[in-house]
Amino acid sequence: MLNQQAESMFLFFSEIQEAKILDSDGFCLGRLYDILIEPIGKYAKAKILIIEKKGLPRSWAVVPWSVVSQVSKGCLRLNGKAREVIFAPLLNHKADLSIRRDILDQQVVDMNNQNVIRVNDIHLLMAEKDLVVAHVDIGLRGIVRRLGFEKFIDTLVRIFDKNSRYLQKLWLISWKHIQPLSINPVSMTIKVDVSQKQLNEIPAADLSEIMLDLSQKHRVALFKILDITTKSKLLCTLDFKEQKSLLEEIGEREAVEILNQLPTDEAVDLLSELPKSNVHNMLRLMESKNAKMLSTLLGYSGESAAGLMTTEYVAVPETASIEEALVLIKEKTPKAETIQSIFIVDQENHLVGSTVLRHLIIADLKDSVRKAAFKKTVSIYMEDEVKKIAFLMDKYKIYCLPVVDSSNVLVGIITIDDIFSRLVSIAWRRSKKKKHL
């Protein structure tokens, strides 16, 4: 008995779309056209009901959901009288989240499975007087139901296979994992939901795949609502073409903000793909220290050490003890690209040695850092090419090399992931050529 009651409280939007709207006297006002919802915690609650009166011209009435007294399939009953409801020939609900315009039949992001899906139907829950969006239906059955063939197809399937997956499995996705993609016409961003936080928690690589499934307009709108850390991470995972078009769309100011966040190697890669005039403007808007560094690096070819390196390394003065060094490393860890390799420099930042974190940890805290250093330090010059870098990394089995200028001043580091993608593409081209021969 209880079970039956609970079941009757769930219903699909398709079952009440076009439902008759009756007032307290049973007079028919019109048909249900749309419901505006408002996100509350993990769910979204119906806030406003829109009634459509057919005829020429069509007119609509907007009433708060609180006046609805009874909901059943195909029929809604209101508290008030018909004459209290005012119909207008225009419908204006741009800022709100509308079921019909923003969710039903639209693409939304499923943040649990991290992909873009199309909503076929909406599963609603009637809890006391509130109507709550519980799930979205993305299955074939949702389409069949909307077309009005659900009973017919169900019977047909049952004849062939009683335990068919079509009948057993509901393709419902919980509303709390859904991020609608409708764009606010004023701010041109995705209408923000409570679940926006979740969007920032999706790994950047998955987020970039979601982005690729969207149209350009939605891509930009979605990008805009992310926080700055997610933005810069996401930007790094996109390919040049996508990066460029995104940066063009979001405007110089925001682009600069993101560039400030990016590691120098990624920033240089990005800037080198943009037109010269843009780069100039953006560097001018950047923090002066960062800009100076970037403009120097931009002068080098993207295939050279200077073009590939990052300046976020960990260096300790040669005079420091291991204890002091460890404190320094801890301080620099958040921004550094890697803390595996530690470089030892003199007062003028000349490279005098290198070591690895493992050596420091097992050494005596009172010792000088110089005692933990390798016997020989391999370094590369700013203009060295990828091939030489790869060769050295392979020869000495080191995955992080210091980059020095002509007077042995440490300017940056190259880690294996910086040259990895280049090596893959070189190797790939080569194997392809061989095949052709």
Q: Are 72 and 18 in contact (CB under 8 A)?
A: no
Q: Counting contacts by CB under 8 A, is residue 255 touching another protein? A: yes
Number of amino acids touching another protein (CB under 8 A)? 27
Q: Closest CB to another protein among 76 and 256?
A: 256
Q: Closer to another protein at the Cβ: 247 or 403?
A: 247
Name residues whose C-beta falls within 8 Å of residue 74's C-beta, 6 or more positions apart in sequence. 15, 16, 19, 20
Give the position of tokens 């409570």. 194
Please tell me whether residue 66 binds another protein under the rule CB under 8 A: no
Binding mask 332-371 for another protein (x = CB under 8 A): ----------------------------------------
In the complex, least distance from residue 316 CB atom to another protein, rounded to whole angstroms: 40
**What is the rounded CA–CA span in Å between residue 4 and residue 324?**
70
The rounded distance, in Å, linking the Cα atoms of 290 and 283 is 8
Quote the CA–CA distance of 332 and 209 in Å, as a whole number: 32
Least CB distance to another protein at residue 171 (A)? 11
Q: Interface with another protein includes 239 (CB under 8 A)?
A: no
Q: Is residue 26 a contact point for another protein (CB under 8 A)?
A: no
Nearest-10 crossing angle of helices 288-298, 276-285: 150
Instruction: Give the one residue of 245, 261, 295, 349 binding another protein; rule: CB under 8 A.
Output: 245
CA-CA distance, 325 to 344, in Å (whole number)?
Answer: 10
Instruction: Name which of 80 and 275 has its Cβ closer to another protein.
Output: 275
Segment contacting another protein by CB under 8 A, of 20-28, 244-252, 314-322, 340-348: 244-252
218 binds another protein (CB under 8 A): yes
Binding of residue 185 to another protein (CB under 8 A)? yes
Q: Which stretch binds another protein (CB under 8 A): 5-13, 69-77, 117-125, 291-299?
A: 117-125
CA distances for 330 relative to 41, 93, 233, angstroms:
38, 53, 23
In 3D, which of 225, 138, 229 has the Cα closest to residue 178?
138
- Which of these, 174, 191, 96, 192, lies nearest to 136 by C-alpha position? 174
In the list 248, 318, 346, 383, the residue contacting another protein (rule: CB under 8 A) is 248
CA triplet 197, 198, 203: central angle to 5 degrees?
115
| Interface residue list for another protein (CB under 8 A) | 104-107, 117-120, 138, 143, 146-147, 185, 215-218, 241, 245, 247-248, 251-252, 255, 275, 278, 281
